[in-house]
Chains A and B, each alone.
Chain A
């Protein structure tokens, strides 16, 4: 196997930084783990379970200009934001969590849906190489094993690292892009064999089955089931779950500036906000917060798998960690599975069992 020693890791980070790349990894800020760009190898912390923000911050920022406009007597002028040259730095994410890498893949399936490519997302994604580090431990909120992933899943990763008992890393290139990245610094990697550190996967949520959930959700008669209003009534609609979620991708376009010039910006939006579905005429098709909560759950376990053939939920557990009133998506997974078992519905309409590929159009992940 190919090995990256601790010593060489630092050298590699120095080399990446020296080559002008942006290196993103888990850092500690005010005592909290956060994915952020680093300027020196020692800032990276590989011992944390999971950072607070997800990797979507780096491919789908919270605020991003999409065009510039000015309105003059002579007419309206629209300017491409990219006119001033590339703004997106080439980035290596070092030590991504497998769930976050899978989240990248999920975002990609949305932003390239049916050939409708989002150039801003794609440019960032293509300039980003994801080096994932398999997890050796999880916490009480982790549940990747319940959504078909694992602590060493490679979905969405370009390179997968696994810790060895000697404190080094076994290196595996997952995509061509990953191989190319490794090939640039061959001196940092050596051949060797070391036993891997055992992984400690989070316990599978008892009595939870995404296939059964999908089947139950596919039945329209369950749309107004009591389970939603009972489970989700305490939701306050703060939207924190969507902000930290690696796969939530909704955004709003807004013009900001004066009457004469300004920017059109793409800002994160959230299905948990009451005005998310508000119509101009005043009607709101989802007037209740429990319905908005249902929407997020259905998005993860029904809309995503049927529409994008991708994982809507990667089991990172961030929504459980941030929820102010302790709403727990895993509890709902248990509940819905129980309902599905009690009342077997028709066959799942979405993800077919023959096609386990979580990423439609995976070929796009390569560097152009």
Chain B
């Protein structure tokens, strides 16, 4: 280990840090040669995926450095970058990448000495940590997921069990059908996106009602767990072709609609929201035994604060009985806190075991109403950012990318967590970044369609303590 020379990739901004490093060279300042500099126009250009890619290609550490706040050549690129780092740093910490591996800094064009000192310091810090072999070992073919380690999610027999009685319909159903008929008959909407029984199975599925005479198919009961907002973005061209939609939405679904409105994926007058007050839904229909017990509730129902939808054109029916008192009100938070208490290596191993199982089906992104890009980063192959094979290194990259793209946006509907065929606890990552959003920016996603999500704005007062 004594002759280990760390490889460090430095993403530096053209206008400040690059010039500062250049000045250090002109001044013949002696400092460690371990940083390989990649010049970028602005730290705002540094996609977190660059950092992941550097590690994939054998870096032992990464340095990102740019102009001091207020000095950005593009006014605020560095402040936007800082917000991104605030999320990304928490995310990399959470999956067990030691904080010593990734460094963030402000170095101006005149701070040649700061640059030299910075490089010396981080080189020694990373040297002390040793080679980043735990990341490199992900490439090892033996680390590729094997079927022996699969944990399949329990939803194998679809629908509710044969012997279980059907759930009672919510009292609001007649009013819901009446409203739907009214909207379709008046031509106000051409399709109602709602819930209905499947034709052959004992199972509630999404249904699209296009004719007034079919509204009797609509229902609402504790099996209506799916987040139907996934059908609203432009990407869903089949739905768009049907015409202006009305959507049956629980409060939690409305949260997602709020984000879609904020991000201008739908126009407020482009959809009629039929809000349904909700007393909680089951996590998986397969678990239904006749009544909604607290331990069967979807995690999103625990501590629900939107039982009556907070944004709707029509709220159908009255507030139902409150959600039954859950056993463990903050199970997800408890798990996150327990993980936070562990060492980086323990967290790394925890996530490694989970990501090992990932089969790269991308079902998590397909069911996510907020994953609506026409072309996902995973589909870009020139260069290929995320490898398509299911192996640990690519699996980790994918899961980090997915998480960071949802930071400050996710409304924790839990659909990704429910759909994952190999039970990766995706809710944990989403919630963790949600906690960051709340702690750092006082922002909770999905409540106010006029608010600015944390990743699209900046505040010079954002915390700095992790930046050198």
| B204 partner residues in chain A, CB cutoff 8 A | 326
B133 part of interface (Cβ distance < 8 Å)? no
A90 contacts chain B at the CB level, 8 A cutoff: no
**Complex interface residues of chain B between 184 and 217 (CB less than 8 A to chain A):** 198-201, 203-208
What 1/0 mask marks residues of chain B from 108 to 144 whose CB sits below 8 Å from any chain A CB?
A: 0000000000000000000000000000000000001
Which residue of B162, B204, B206, B238 has the most chain A CB atoms within 10 A of its CB atom?
A: B238
- Is A321 in contact with B158, judged by CB distance below 8 angstroms? yes
Chain A residue nearest to B207 in the complex (CB): A234
Q: Does A254 contact B158, Cβ atoms closer than 8 Å? A: no
CB neighbours (8 Å) of A73 from chain B are none
**Residue in contact with A325 in the complex, picked from B157, B206, B237, B361, CB distance below 8 Å:** B206
Contact present for A52 and B200 (CB under 8 Å): no
Instruction: Tell whether, in the assembled complex, residue B152 and residue A233 are in contact, meaning their CB atoms are under 8 Å apart.
Output: no
Query: Contacting chain B: which of A28-36, A106-114, A298-306, A339-347?
Result: A28-36
Which residues on A sit within 8 Å (CB–CB) of B203? 326
Interface pair A29/B152, CB less than 8 Å apart:
yes
**Docked pose: A240 CA to B162 CA in angstroms:** 24
Q: What is the CA–CA distance of A239 and B306 in the complex, to the nearest angstrom? A: 32
Residues in A neighbouring B387, C-beta threshold 8 A? 254, 256
Q: By the criterion CB–CB under 8 Å, are B147 and A57 in contact? A: yes
Residues of B within 8 A of A287 (CB): 237
CB atoms of A256 and B384 under 8 A apart: yes
Query: A117 near B: Cβ within 8 Å?
Result: no
Partner of B389, one of A29, A141, A229, A265: A265
Which residues 363-393 of B sit at the A interface, judged by CB distance below 8 A?
A: 363, 366-367, 375, 379, 381, 384, 387-391
Taking CB atoms, residues of chain B closer than 8 Å to A327 are: 205
B46 to chain A minimum Cβ distance, whole angstroms, is: 21
Contact A239 B238 (CB under 8 A): no
Distance to closest chain A CB from B372 (angstroms): 11
Cβ contact within 8 Å between A267 and B150: no
Q: Report the bound CA distance from A255 to B361 in whole Å.
A: 19
What residue in chain A is nearest B364 (Cβ atoms)? A238
Q: B147's closest neighbor in chain A, by CB?
A: A36
B422-458 interface bits toward A, Cβ cutoff 8 Å, 1 = contact, 0 = none: 0100000000000000000000000000000000000
Contact B206 A331 (CB under 8 A): no
Whether B236 lies near A34 (C-beta < 8 A) is no
User: In the complex the two chains form, what is the Cα distance from A35 to B207 in whole Å?
Assistant: 34
Q: Which of A29, A34, A235, A328 contacts B201 (CB 8 A)?
A: A328
Smallest CB–CB gap between B33 and chain A, Å?
A: 22
A78 CB-CB contact with B under 8 Å? no
- Residues in chain B near residue A139, CB distance under 8 A: 157
Q: Does chain B have a CB within 8 A of A362?
A: no
In the assembled complex, the CB of A330 is this many whole angstroms from the nearest CB of chain B, namely: 6
- How would you classify the secondary structure of chain B's contact residues: helix, strand, loop or mixed? loop
- Is A210 an interface residue when CB atoms closer than 8 A count as contact? no
Contact status of A328 and B199, CB under 8 A, knowing A239-B361, A252-B388: yes
- Taking the closest CB of chain B, its distance from the CB of A89, in whole angstroms, is 13
Q: Tell me which residues across on chain B come within 8 A of A265, comparing CB atoms.
A: 388-389
The one of A30, A258, A267 that contacts B388, using a Cβ cutoff of 8 Å: A267
* Given contact pairs A289-B238, A324-B363, A325-B205, A29 touches B151 in the complex (Cβ within 8 A): yes
A residues 49-95 touching B (CB-CB < 8 Å)? 52-53, 57, 62-63
B10 within 8 A of A: no
Q: Is the CB of B381 within 8 A of A254?
A: yes
CB distance from A66 to the nearest CB of B (A): 12
Nearest-Cβ distance from residue A26 to partner chain B, whole angstroms = 12
**Which of B159, B238, B391 touches A233 (beta carbons < 8 Å)?**
B238
Closest A residue, CB atoms, query B57: A258
B156 is an interface residue with CB less than 8 A from chain A: yes
Q: Specify which chain A residues have a CB less than 8 angstroms from the CB of B95 in the assembled complex.
A: none
Residue ID in chain B nearest A32 by CB atoms: B152
Instruction: Find B158's partner among A63, A235, A326 (CB 8 Å cutoff).
Output: A326
Interface flag for A169 (CB, 8 Å):
no
User: In the bound complex, what is the Cα–Cα distance between A37 and B149 (angstroms)?
Assistant: 12
Set A288, A320, A323: member contacting B238, Cβ < 8 A: A288
Find out whether the CB atom of A240 lies under 8 angstroms from the CB atom of B156.
Answer: no
B-chain residues with CB within 8 Å of residue A326 when the two chains form the complex: 158-159, 198, 201, 203-206
Q: Is the CB of B237 within 8 A of A288?
A: yes
Instruction: Give bound CA distance, A36 to B423, whole Å.
Output: 18
* A238 in contact with B362 (CB, 8 Å): yes
Query: Quick check: A289 and B157 within 8 Å, CB to CB?
Result: no
A62 to B150, CA, bound (A): 14
The CA of A330 and the CA of B230, in the complex, are separated in Å by 25
In the assembled complex, A307 has its CB within 8 A of some CB on chain B: no
A298 vs B57: C-alpha distance when bound (angstroms)? 43
Minimal beta-carbon separation of B202 from chain A (angstroms): 8
Pair B158/A323 contact, Cβ less than 8 Å: yes
B345 within 8 A of partner (CB): no
By a CB distance below 8 angstroms, the chain B residues around A323 are 158
> CB of B275 within 8 A of chain A?
no
B293 at the interface (CB under 8 A from A): no
Contact indicator B237/A289 (Cβ below 8 Å): yes
A328 to chain B, nearest CB (A): 5
Tell yes or no: B154 within 8 A of A by CB. yes
Tell me how far the C-beta of A273 lies from the nearest C-beta in chain B, rounded to whole angstroms: 8
> Min CB distance, A149 to chain B, in Å?
19
Within 8 A of B (CB), among A318-367: 320-328, 330-331
Is the CB–CB distance between A52 and B156 below 8 Å? yes
- Give bound CA distance, A330 to B158, whole Å: 14
Binary CB contact string for chain B from 154 to 171 against chain A (1 if under 8 A, 0 otherwise): 101111001000000000
Question: Judging by beta carbons under 8 Å apart, are A238 and B205 in contact?
Answer: no
For A205, give the chain B residue with the smallest CB separation.
B200
B421 interface residue (CB < 8 Å to A): yes
- Say whether A236 faces chain B, with CB atoms less than 8 Å apart: yes
The distance in angstroms between the C-alpha atoms of A34 and B151, with both chains bound, is 10
Chain A residues, CB < 8 A from B198: 326, 328, 331
Q: How far is the CB of A96 from chain B (nearest CB, A)?
A: 15
Chain A residues in 8 Å Cβ range of B361: 238-240, 243
> In the complex the two chains form, is B226's CB within 8 Å of A32's CB?
no
Residues of A within 8 Å of B208, CB to CB, are 233-234
B158 close to A237 (CB less than 8 A):
no
Q: Of all chain A residues, which has the CB nearest B393?
A: A256
A331 x B200 contact (CB < 8 A): yes
Judge whether A238 and B388 touch: CB under 8 Å.
no
- The chain A residue with its CB closest to the CB of B359 is A62
Residues of A197-238 whose CB lies within 8 A of B? 229, 232-238
CA gap between A268 and B388 in the complex, in Å: 9
Give chain B residues whose Cβ lies under 8 Å from the Cβ of A254.
381, 384, 387-389
Cβ contacts under 8 Å, A279 to chain B? none
Closest to A293 in B: B238
Is B239 part of the contact surface with A, judged by Cβ < 8 Å? yes
Q: Which chain B residue has the least Cβ–Cβ distance from A317?
A: B158
The 18 sampled A-B contact pairs (Cβ below 8 Å) are A30-B150, A37-B147, A63-B144, A140-B157, A140-B162, A141-B158, A232-B238, A234-B206, A239-B362, A239-B363, A254-B384, A254-B387, A265-B388, A267-B389, A320-B201, A324-B367, A325-B226, A326-B158
Q: A30-B152, A289-B238 are in contact. List 16 more A-B contacts (CB 8 A).
A: A33-B156, A34-B150, A63-B391, A140-B162, A229-B241, A238-B362, A239-B366, A254-B389, A255-B384, A256-B384, A265-B389, A273-B362, A288-B237, A289-B237, A320-B158, A321-B156
Q: What 4 A-B pairs come out closest when comparing CB atoms? A: A326-B205, A238-B363, A238-B366, A32-B152
